[in-house]
Amino acid sequence: MRRMVPTLLLILFATTWAEAQTTIYWKKDHIRDASGAAIAVATPAPSDNQAPSVPGNPSESTITTTSIAFSWGASSDTGGSGLAGYLIYRGAIPVGAVPYTASGFTDVGLVPNTTYSYRVVAFDNVHNYSGYSGALVKTTNAMPSAPLNLTATAVSASQINVTWSAPGSGAPHHYGIWRRSNGSLLKIDTSTSSSYADTAVSPGIAYLYKVSAEDSSNLVQGWTNADIATTVFFTDDPLTAGSTVIKAAHVTELRTAVNAVRAAAGLTAANWSNSSLNGAWIKARDIYELRAGLGDALNVLGLPAPNYTDSTLMNYTVNPPLGVSVKKAHIDEIRQHVK
């Protein structure tokens, strides 16, 4: 009788095949037809019906504005099939799975300043599932507002100090330091404080700075204003009203600084009517040309236009009319915008 059982099963299977005239699919532990109905058992039922132990409760390792990373204690499997991995649930929804060798997960693409709850389930190689771990409830970081009040100041021909104020809300992971000197704004460094000393500068060059608030993945979350500084230093700084005589050096130094700013903006050098001021009077026209050359560059760089004393100062080609003379304020105001 034992030898007849396979023959009978084969006849029954062949009859079923002939009658159904359809494709046979393998699925899990049964042979099934196209409708999903079981035709015959293909393999013995699994002998492991024991669930893995419940994973240890998760605890966070890193939280950003858009991600939460956490880990948990490992599960064990005593049923014999072996631990396969872990399912991660956000609320009631599975959002990921990791192999049994992992003990951590990072959920990304989250909404800033939002609370999420996570639980972990272990499973073995024959799909027995443990109970849920305890819940981890955490809130993503709030998106920081932009840093404020950036100021760039040249303190020597080889160093520019950059300072700014922290955002009014939400602390960034770090700040990105950005600099432009030849038409391109590039990230040159990072800082965790609200100041930075740039010692990679050269004499006679203008540098534009901006600072970004960034998360741990270097994602920019907000920008400061921009400011510019030049490593050009001025004679008689500061000028003293009533005692400092306006000199040719004051204008020639400003011409160097203005052309440095124009270079940072990607513009050609300005042309000056009085190319040499040796032995010449300083005229209103010289101030006018400095303002015009600087204004074009500031506009390209996205910096605000200066407010000037005697804003209607004209491009006089001869000595200006009575009452129009070069003043301390005219020199100081341009200096302040090229520093």
Q: Round to whole Å and give the CA distance between 231 and 154.
A: 6
pLDDT the model gives residue 99: 94
Q: Is the dihedral of CA 292, 297, 302, 308 positive or negative?
A: negative
Angle at the Cα of 128 (from 122 to 129), degrees rounded to 5? 35
pLDDT score recorded for residue 8: 32
**Are the CB atoms for 214 and 173 separated by under 8 Å?**
yes
Long-range contacts of 99-106 (CB under 8 A, 24+ apart): 100/74, 100/75, 103/71, 103/72, 103/73, 103/74, 104/61, 104/69, 104/70, 104/71, 104/72, 105/69, 105/70, 105/71, 106/62, 106/67, 106/68, 106/69, 106/70
> What pLDDT is stored for residue 279 in this prediction?
62
Using one digit for the tens of pLDDT, what is the confidence trace for 178-215?
999 887 899 999 999 999 999 999 999 999 999 999 88
Tell me the domains of the chain and their CATH numbers.
Answer: 4-41 (no CATH), 59-139 (2.60.40.10), 148-230 (2.60.40.10), 248-338 (no CATH)
pLDDT in the model for residue 95 = 95
pTM of the prediction? 0.62
Per-residue pLDDT, 339: 81
- Give the pLDDT confidence score for residue 46 in this predicted structure: 55
pLDDT of residue 14: 39
Please give the pLDDT value at position 315: 61
pLDDT for position 311: 81
Q: For the segment 46-98, what is each residue's pLDDT rounded down to a tens digit?
A: 577 899 999 999 999 889 888 999 999 999 998 888 899 999 999 999 999 99
Q: What is the pLDDT at residue 65?
A: 82
pLDDT recorded at residue 170: 74
Q: Give the pLDDT confidence score for residue 152 in this predicted structure.
A: 96
Residue 255 has a pLDDT of 94
Residue spans of the chain under pLDDT 70: 1-34, 36, 38-46, 279-280, 314-324
Task: Write down the pLDDT at residue 26.
Answer: 37
E strand or H helix at 284: helix 284-301
